[in-house]
């Protein structure tokens, strides 16, 4: 792969709208998204010429560059996971205009069966805080055109940064209309995907067969490298997902379902040794496919924890909470407080602590795949404990702990929160997915005495794109029962300011020097491909306060 930076003769670059511009996704989607994700013509697809069936993507933006991704199908037999097909040279181009008359960088990469014919180009030499267009070509065929954006220089002052925030997109549970609405916005710097980008289950397992909205491929539970490649490829045929990747750089971390449910360093709840082979081999295959198919820089350590900076305004610390964790404790074992058990692993926790304490950014954003705020469930009515147990990994008798979250690894949380307070680290905001609900929380040092004791940080949790929530599990209309559970949860957990157990959607995080604000959006019906989106609520944390408060309009 080669690249070079070509200075522009014009200042007319791919411009950025005003910071206050908010594009209403429902109105704009029909026009904006298809222009970016037009697929190859049927005539091209019917020949042996290369085609780009899986779209284009960018990710992990830097001040001077960005990672570009695509997958080329060089011949009809070179289907994902097959290991077949010839080596194919792919050219990539980055331009300052959609017509590609002002090329900023150009290079080539080789697509081979060894990487499932996926291509990554780590482009450098670009201008900071600048919008660009990009595309790929091979054998006379061209990919769709994508757009991306570099970040401000590390020492640059920025008036604001805005992220789309999503998690938990289960193909069989519904459509990805949340992605479509985010793709139609022109005001995002990047989209954060906080895990469960794919699901590993066999068809009709989650949800049950009669509730499946659409079938994924392969139909069986994925275990091998070929399986994981095929599942990733199938997800990337979704037009709304393609639209998202073509419209914005995506910054992604994994959670458990990219590997297997409730994964830990040595196994997973959804892995049967012997019948499904060695877990280490399965995890290695899952991670290899993830790095091949996602616009994420490949790590030699096989992890996704890393740090991105958005000028002096925000550092984004991204965590890997599956690769190094101890096995989840058994309920009632008393091991959740054991200092020998870890969620992060020693090296990652030290890296995070040092990064937070050493950051000179106004805001310290932490992307975590599971919730850090403590939550007690003992006051939830008995008839709701069953579905909550299934959704959140709780014991059905209602013991108040979720051992898959930070609640199951309290020594790591105690050390991290103690570090924030002892080091005087301010403006830490945790951004979380995983549990298919939306939350706005203070993060207390001691939940039992809160609010008399202090809050060390705040947390915004986004709901799922499509994965089942409590009403889906109960098969009742939204709000029928969950409002009772939400009221009980807030009463028992005074640091929880809001929880929505009913709806699916996404968040938009808007960060300025004065505040970080999460606007929560919901989709009308995940079972409808053309679902609309609407603003639901907004919460913010003001600089220096370590507390969230409700605001009554989106930014």
Q: 133-148 pLDDT, tens per residue?
A: 999 999 999 999 999 9
Number of H helices, E strands in the chain: 11, 22
Separation of alpha carbons 461 and 455, rounded Å: 17
Percent of the chain scoring above 70 in pLDDT: 86
Give the C-alpha distances (Å, rounded to integers) separating 263 from 218, 303, 369, 541. Answer: 21, 14, 12, 32
Q: What is the pLDDT of residues 187-237, one digit of tens each?
A: 999 999 999 999 999 999 999 999 999 999 999 999 999 999 999 999 999
Separation of alpha carbons 201 and 517, rounded Å: 35
Contact 404, 262 (CB under 8 A): yes
- Which pLDDT score is estimated for 378? 59
Residue 67: count of CB within 10 angstroms of its CB: 22
Any idea how long the chain is? 555
SS3 282: helix
CATH of the structural domain 1-150, one choice from 1.10.3470.10, 3.40.50.10890, 2.60.120.260, 2.60.40.380: 2.60.40.380
The helix or strand, by DSSP H or E, that contains position 90, with its residue range, turns out to be strand 88-95
The residue among 155, 169, 147, 31 whose CA lies nearest residue 99 is: 147
More confident residue, 401 or 124: 124
How far does the chain reach from its first CA to its final CA, in angstroms? 41
How far is C-alpha 245 from the geometric centre of its chain's CA atoms?
12
Burial class (CB in 10 A: 0-12, 13-18, 19+), 411: middle
Q: Show Cβ contacts of residue 291 under 8 Å, excluding neighbours closer than 6 positions.
A: 298, 299
Separation of alpha carbons 247 and 270, rounded Å: 34
The residue among 167, 132, 7 whose CA lies nearest residue 58 is: 132
- Report whether pLDDT(10) > 70: no
pLDDT grade, residue 488 (50/70/90)? Answer: confident
422 φ, ψ (degrees, to nearest 5): -65, -35
- Which pLDDT score is estimated for 28? 35
Contact 407, 374 (CB under 8 A): yes
* Average model confidence (pLDDT) across the chain: 89
Contact 180, 506 (CB under 8 A): no
- Which pLDDT score is estimated for 50? 92
Separation of alpha carbons 83 and 66, rounded Å: 28
- Which pLDDT score is estimated for 485? 78
Q: What is the pLDDT of residues 435-468, one digit of tens each?
A: 999 999 999 999 889 999 999 999 999 999 999 9
Average pLDDT over residues 53-57: 98
Contact 518, 507 (CB under 8 A): yes
Find out whether the peptide bond into 225 is cis, omega within 30 degrees of 0. no
Sort strands 496-500 and 438-444 into parallel, antiparallel or unpaired: antiparallel
Structure tokens at 420: 């924030």
Separation of alpha carbons 544 and 514, rounded Å: 9
How far is C-alpha 217 from the geometric centre of its chain's CA atoms?
21
Q: What is the pTM of this model?
A: 0.90
pLDDT grade, residue 386 (50/70/90)? Answer: low
Q: What are the residues facing 91 on neighbouring strands?
A: 108, 137
- Which pLDDT score is estimated for 23? 32
Separation of alpha carbons 228 and 217, rounded Å: 10
Average pLDDT over residues 146-152: 98
Domain with CATH 3.60.21.70 in the chain: 151-551
Burial class (CB in 10 A: 0-12, 13-18, 19+), 101: exposed
- Which pLDDT score is estimated for 394? 45
230 φ, ψ (degrees, to nearest 5): -65, -40
Domain with CATH 2.60.40.380 in the chain: 1-150
Q: What is the pLDDT of residues 317-337, one digit of tens each?
A: 999 999 999 999 987 677 888
CATH of the structural domain 151-551, one choice from 3.60.21.70, 3.40.50.620, 3.65.10.10, 2.40.50.140: 3.60.21.70
The residue among 260, 252, 258 whose CA lies nearest residue 229 is: 258
DSSP state of 330: P
Q: Show Cβ contacts of residue 229 under 8 Å, excluding neighbours closer than 6 positions.
A: 80, 81, 116, 289, 292, 293
């Amino acid at each position: 792969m080669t690249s070079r930076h070509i200075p522009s003769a014009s200042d007319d670059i791919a411009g950025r709208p005003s910071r206050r511009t908010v594009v209403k996704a429902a109105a704009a989607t029909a026009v904006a998204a298809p222009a970016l994700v037009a697929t190859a013509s049927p005539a091209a697809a019917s020949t042996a010429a290369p085609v780009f069936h899986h779209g284009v993507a960018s990710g992990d933006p830097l001040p001077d560059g960005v990672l570009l991704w695509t997958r080329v199908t060089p011949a009809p037999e070179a289907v994902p996971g097959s290991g077949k097909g010839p080596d194919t040279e792919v050219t990539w181009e980055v331009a300052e205009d959609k017509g590609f008359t002002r090329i900023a960088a150009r290079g080539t990469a080789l697509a081979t069966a060894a990487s499932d014919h996926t291509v990554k180009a780590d482009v450098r030499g670009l201008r900071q805080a600048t919008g660009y267009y990009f595309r790929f070509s091979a054998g006379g065929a061209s990919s769709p055109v994508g757009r991306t954006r570099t970040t401000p220089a590390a020492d640059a002052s920025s008036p604001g940064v805005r992220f789309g925030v999503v998690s938990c997109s289960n193909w069989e549970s519904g459509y990805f209309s949340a992605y479509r609405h985010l793709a139609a916005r022109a005001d995002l710097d990047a989209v954060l995907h906080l895990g469960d980008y794919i699901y590993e289950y066999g068809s009709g397992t989650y949800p049950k067969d009669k509730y499946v909205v659409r079938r994924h491929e392969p139909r069986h539970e994925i275990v091998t490298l070929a399986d994981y490649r095929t599942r990733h490829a199938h997800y990337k045929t979704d037009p709304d997902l393609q639209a998202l990747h073509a419209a914005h750089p995506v910054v992604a971390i994994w959670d458990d379902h990219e590997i297997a449910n409730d994964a830990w360093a040595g196994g997973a709840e959804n892995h049967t040794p012997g019948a499904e082979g060695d877990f280490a081999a399965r995890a290695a295959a899952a991670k290899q496919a993830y790095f091949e198919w996602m616009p994420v820089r490949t790590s030699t350590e096989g992890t996704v924890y890393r740090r991105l900076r958005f000028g002096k305004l925000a550092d984004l610390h991204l965590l890997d909470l599956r690769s190094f964790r101890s096995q989840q404790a058994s309920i009632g074992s008393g091991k959740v407080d054991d200092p020998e058990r870890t969620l992060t692993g020693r090296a990652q926790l030290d890296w995070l602590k040092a990064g937070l304490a050493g950051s000179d950014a106004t805001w310290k954003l932490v992307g975590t795949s599971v919730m850090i705020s403590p939550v007690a469930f003992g006051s939830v009515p008995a008839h709701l404990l069953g579905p909550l147990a299934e959704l959140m990994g709780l014991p059905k008798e209602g013991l108040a702990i979720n051992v898959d979250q930070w609640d199951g690894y309290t020594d790591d949380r105690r050390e991290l929160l103690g570090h924030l307070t002892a080091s005087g680290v301010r403006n830490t905001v945790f951004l979380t997915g995983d549990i298919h609900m939306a939350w706005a929380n203070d993060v207390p040092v001691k939940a039992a005495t809160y609010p008399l004791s202090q809050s060390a940080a705040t947390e915004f949790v986004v709901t799922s794109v499509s994965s089942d929530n409590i009403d889906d599990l109960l098969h009742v209309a939204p709000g029928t029962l969950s409002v009772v559970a939400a009221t009980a949860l807030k009463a028992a957990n005074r640091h929880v300011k809001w929880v929505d157990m009913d709806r699916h959607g996404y968040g938009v995080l808007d960060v300025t020097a004065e505040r970080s604000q999460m606007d929560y959006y919901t989709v009308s019906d995940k079972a409808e491909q053309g679902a609309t989106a609407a603003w639901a609520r907004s919460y913010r944390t003001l600089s220096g306060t370590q507390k969230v408060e409700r605001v009554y309009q989106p930014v």
